Amino acid sequence: MSETMMAVRKLEKAPGLTVEEVPIPEMGVDEVLVAVEAASVCGTDLHIWKWDDWASNRIRPPLTIGHEFAGTVVDVGSAVRHVSIGDYVSAESHVTCGMCFQCRTGQAHMCPMTRILGVDRDGCFADYVSIPEKVVWRNDRNKIPPEIATLQEPFGNGVFATLAHELAGQSVAVLGCGPTGLFSIGIANASGAGSVYAADINDYRLSLATTMGADRVYNPLRQGDDVATWMIEANEGYGVDIVLEMSGAASSIDAAFRGVRNGGRVTLFGIPSTPVRIDVAESMIFKNLTVLALNGRRIFDTWYKTRWLLESGRVDLRPVITKEVSLKEVEEVMKTLAAGQAGKVILRPSIEISQPETRNGLPGVNANVEGQDLHR
Ligand SMILES: [Zn+2]
Ligand SMILES: [Zn+2]
């Protein structure tokens, strides 16, 4: 095995990313080394590329970024007991402490000591990533290909936010059709929602919403009237049963509270960039609302539900994948994502998409380029 690999790196406290050759990561005794077959780009990576306030406060360069992936274990530390070379895996990106109150009471997704792959330690936009055994999630290669397996991590966010409600027979509105909103639409459909409404200010995303199973879509920028009025009129003047607010936009949060029916449920999952004013009396108390504010995934409860939804084919994520590219094209990918013109983009670290080449002698690296055409 060669000593070096390609990786997407944040080298300076400034916008941009660098693709460079670096040593293959060290591995602790309780860690495993994974040859990455597919990785996917997340909003978090976009923040790091842009170098916004969040990124400049959190990220300490130099750092290999990326936290969503699927690949094959090529080495294991001496204390690893449950993972073997050759295992086909993904990972929970949140490495939690295991010892705090939250971790010890089944709420590890709220661990204050969480370290995130590609944020607080080197991540997976590289040929190899080393991860603790305890975050490894085993996949079945016969049931879930790498470009879908890598999406389990972000899809899990949608699973956690959406399945917090009893959805069968309910009217459900998804406000904000970025990847998590699109996932929620598929999950609501798979769960027997009576009707699924989707709103976004981007027509490209609304077309994906329709593909994912939204019954009706709405663009408030283009269609004039406001989203709340649309939801109310579409539901006999009462409003929808459940609103999933996935955008974090203040106007959308306002629409969520006005468009939900009395006694309905609102989940706030989109993250506002600045404080948002809410009229608690009018929009919550007098409507007898149930309001959930959720973040992350339950570790590992959500992963089991996620696996079932994907392996069973109940939710098909292929329409959300816009394209697959090599690591070198990451800059272009970030520009496309920043322009809102992509769902999920898959990085294929171990292959050159334009000029396929085989890496001889490395176990588990799949050097074929099948799956490039995503709309099969
Ligand atoms: Zn992510
Ligand atoms: Zn903890």
Task: Measure 111 CA to ligand 2 centroid, in angstroms.
Answer: 4
pLDDT of 369 above 60: no
What pLDDT sits at residue 356? 34
What pLDDT sits at residue 292? 98
Task: Measure 217 CA to ligand 1 centroid, in angstroms.
Answer: 25
Instruction: Give bridge partners of residue 347 from the DSSP assignment.
Output: 39, 325
pLDDT of 376 above 70: no
Domain residue ranges in the chain: 4-151+317-347, 161-293
pLDDT of 371 above 60: no
What pLDDT sits at residue 375? 29
Confidence bin at 225 (pLDDT 50/70/90): confident
Kindly identify the ligand whose nearest atom is closest to the C-alpha of 113. 2
Q: SS3 helix, strand, coil % of the chain, rounded to 5?
A: 30, 25, 45
Q: Kindly state the DSSP code that residue 335 receives in the 8-state scheme.
A: H
Task: Measure 298 CA to ligand 2 centroid, in angstroms.
Answer: 13
Q: Which amino acid appears at position 220 of this protein?
A: P
Q: Which amino acid appears at position 55 of this protein?
A: A
Helix (H, G, I), strand (E, B) or coil at 13: coil
| Mean pLDDT over each residue of the chain, to the nearest integer | 92
Kindly identify the ligand whose nearest atom is closest to the C-alpha of 158. 1
Contacts (Cβ under 8 Å, ≥6 apart) of 3 = 23, 24
Q: Give me the mean pLDDT over the 241-261 stretch.
A: 97
Catalytic machinery residues: 44, 47
Q: Which CATH superfamily is domain 4-151+317-347 in?
A: Medium-chain alcohol dehydrogenases, catalytic domain (3.90.180.10)
pLDDT of 366 above 60: no
Residues with CB in 5 Å of ion ligand 2: 96-97, 100, 103, 111, 113
> What is the residue-wise DSSP string for 174-212?
EE--SHHHHHHHHHHHHTTBSEEEEE-S-HHHHHHHHHT
Kindly identify the ligand whose nearest atom is closest to the C-alpha of 183. 1
Q: Percent of the chain having pLDDT more than 90? A: 91
Q: Which amino acid appears at position 361 of this protein?
A: G
Confidence bin at 1 (pLDDT 50/70/90): low
Task: Measure 48 CA to ligand 1 centroid, in angstroms.
Answer: 12
What φ, ψ does residue 357 adopt, rounded to 5°? Answer: -135, 145
Confidence bin at 123 (pLDDT 50/70/90): very high
Q: What is the pLDDT of residues 82-94, one digit of tens each?
A: 999 999 999 999 9
What is the rounded CA–CA span in Å between residue 107 and residue 298?
7
Integer CA distances (angstroms), 319 to 109, 164, 182, 345, 356, in order: 28, 24, 10, 11, 24
**Identical fold, 4-151+317-347 and 161-293:** no
Instruction: Return the CATH number of the domain spanning residue range 161-293.
Output: 3.40.50.720
Most confidently predicted of 99-103, 270-274, 348-352, 355-359:
99-103
The structure's pTM equals 0.91
What pLDDT sits at residue 248? 96
Kindly identify the ligand whose nearest atom is closest to the C-alpha of 123. 1
Confidence bin at 365 (pLDDT 50/70/90): very low
Task: Measure 180 CA to ligand 1 centroid, in angstroms.
Answer: 10
Instruction: Give bridge partners of residue 268 from the DSSP assignment.
Output: 245, 293
What pLDDT sits at residue 353? 44
With CA atoms as reference, report the closest residue to 322 among 348, 347, 343, 338.
343
Task: Measure 268 CA to ligand 2 centroid, in angstroms.
Answer: 24
Confidence bin at 343 (pLDDT 50/70/90): very high
